[in-house]
Chains A and B, each alone.
Chain A
């Protein structure tokens, strides 16, 4: 069966510091990968998606970037965090076939102070 893991689960970072959140998927090949963010009191906002290694699409202009160095690895980064980057970040995957149900990881709480 397929599993998805992301880490770290929580982190507190000062403004201006870098960020790296990692996500891996097991049990499937060539998945579509996603990074979502849930800001306080808001819905799930798609930040990035990837259909293959090195292929990244950005949905909204922001202070973040994503990379996919391996087929089942997806990384969310920032060089300098802003207070507004605080939120709950979710990695997700799908097979990209048919109805595109996506499956989420456990999430990472980021607090920028």
Chain B
């Protein structure tokens, strides 16, 4: 059972435009959400997170939006840069019990010059 889903395996965007990566979850106990960026043959790097008490969190070019009623979150990258080309993983955890992160399958973003 895939509790965190990233339905788009890939996304292509031109440099300077907005990249929007989407993520859906099914477990209503999830209350903390994160995005990670991963380059080939490297470990994922933490990008940005959001708690369920918020619906938006911004850090520079990266903004994460959370829609709890739809169980949906998205990552916006504005403006997109070629160096943003990587695989992006969405992850979620529940604050009850041990806080394990559940990851989506990832979306490969390609930003072309």
Contact = CB atoms under 8 A, between A and B. Distances in A.
Interface in B88-104: 89, 91, 93, 95, 98-104
Nearest to A96: B99
B65 interface: no
Contact of A101 (B49, B105, B106): B49
B44 A104 contact: yes
Interface stretch (A12-20, A44-52, A62-70, A75-83): A44-52
Contacts of B43: 90, 92, 104-107
A42 B105 contact: yes
A11 interface: no
Q: Give the one of B6, B43, B44, B103 with max A CB within 10 A.
A: B43
Given A43-B103, A49-B98, A99 B89 contact: no
Main secondary structure of the interface of A (DSSP, over half): strand
Count class of interface residues, chain A: 20 to 34
B100 A46 contact: yes
Given A43-B106, A44-B103, A101 B46 contact: yes
Nearest to B104: A43
A100 B42 contact: no
Given A44-B44, A90-B43, A102 B105 contact: no
A51 B98 contact: yes
Nearest to A90: B43
Nearest to A94: B99
B107 to A, nearest CB: 11
A99 B91 CA distance: 12
28 contacts: A36-B103, A43-B89, A43-B104, A43-B105, A44-B44, A44-B91, A45-B103, A46-B102, A49-B98, A49-B100, A57-B98, A59-B100, A90-B43, A96-B98, A99-B49, A99-B93, A99-B95, A99-B99, A101-B34, A101-B46, A102-B101, A104-B43, A104-B44, A105-B43, A106-B43, A107-B42, A107-B43, A109-B41
Q: What are the 5 tightest A-B residue pairs by CB atom distance, in nearest-first order?
A: A104-B43, A100-B99, A43-B105, A44-B103, A99-B32
